[in-house]
Amino acid sequence: MPLPLITPRSGQSLTASLVARAEQKLWQREQQAVQNDEGLKAKKERVTVVLKSAMEIVAEESSDGVELDNGIKELVRAIKAASAVGVLPQLRVQARKILAEHQSEQKRRQRLEEQLERLVRQAEAAHEANMRGDGEVANTSPRKPLSVDSSLPQSGPQRTRALAAAKQKATVVL
């Protein structure tokens, strides 16, 4: 919309000219505020759509590790953008809740994988000791497996069977 051109007439006083210029500036600022408000509304709508999409992607891609990591990164970016623009607080809270759930699930899986690796190392050490015929088992980890009953002395095949059972339980949990 073109701005009306206000020019002082030859017979106007200086104050009338200043008032006219001030009115023109106010009108320009009002127009700019209206345009900024419309732009902010559009930006909020776009960020809301992106945030909802990121939440859906993370919810759907929970089985695939690589794509889930990318989805989580996009969700974090969308949450930051939503906070900056001021998208609905309940939607941001919902997105943060989804993010926290997936991060805790990822940490749980990582701990289980570490436990499984320890069990595999213990089983390998027990197998090597059994193959040598020593009867001694090299302890590769300070923690004992959770499923092995420590009240019974185990050596050789008994320990190997117990470690295999623990490994199988850990695999089922994963």
Q: Is residue 41 part of a domain?
A: yes
Same-domain check for residues 28 and 81: yes
Q: Is residue 5 part of a domain?
A: no
Alpha carbon distance 6, 77 (integer Å): 47
Q: Which amino acid appears at position 71 of this protein?
A: G
Total domains in the chain come to: 2
Q: Is residue 156 part of a domain?
A: yes
Same-domain check for residues 26 and 58: yes
Q: Is residue 71 part of a domain?
A: yes
Lowest mean pLDDT among 150-154, 162-166, 168-172: 150-154
Residue in this structure with the two tokens 């590790």, named with its chain if needed:
65
Question: In this structure, what token pair is assigned to residue 65?
Answer: 């590790």
Contact 126, 160 (CB under 8 A): yes
Q: What is the pLDDT of residue 146?
A: 47
Higher-scoring residue by pLDDT: 78, 69: 78
Domain end, chosen from 25, 55, 87, is at 87
Residue in this structure with the two tokens 């000219």, named with its chain if needed:
17
Q: Is residue 4 part of a domain?
A: no
- Greatest mean pLDDT range, 11-15, 50-54, 116-120: 116-120
Q: Which amino acid appears at position 21 of this protein?
A: R
Q: How confident is the model at residue 62 (pLDDT cuts 50, 70, 90)?
A: low
Question: In this structure, what token pair is assigned to residue 44?
Answer: 């909020």
Q: What is the pLDDT of residue 150?
A: 45
Q: What is the pLDDT of residue 59?
A: 79
Task: Catalogue the long-range contacts made by 150-156 (C-beta closer than 8 Å, 24 or more residues apart).
Answer: 156/129, 156/130
What DSSP character marks residue 62? T
